[in-house]
Structure 1
């Protein structure tokens, strides 16, 4: 592989990663309002610290990403 091919491959990987990150950001942004009330209720009922709840959400998100590491938050119809 020559230098030009290597740069093109690097560029496509960077682009793919940027799209993945943007998809994750959109997914989080879309979910946040739906879960705000649930999270607030959880805090009040269980007297949990913010960090504990955020850690739980992060663990759940990581498990979901293991199932589908390149899930962008879009439905199949939106991807095509």
Structure 2
């Protein structure tokens, strides 16, 4: 159901060594690597964690944001 004939989603399967390789290649990158993200971002301190996702209508958000504070980590990803 996700994809239809008029879909503008393009799936590309490609081996990469760093997320920076995709910087200018796409408007949106969905990273589903799980703990392999440690290798992609060069941070071996990453550990698995449980989290929550909240979906909201916010069309003014055009970019992905991530933040890491003393209170925790969070991110905002536009639809």
Greater relative contact order (Cα < 8 A, sep 6+): 1
Scaled to the shorter chain, the TM-score interval is: under 0.3
| Higher gyration radius (CA) | 1
Q: TM-score, normalised by structure 2?
A: 0.23
- Structure having the larger proportion of residues in strand: 2
Q: TM-score, normalised by structure 1?
A: 0.23
- Structure having the larger proportion of residues in helix: 1
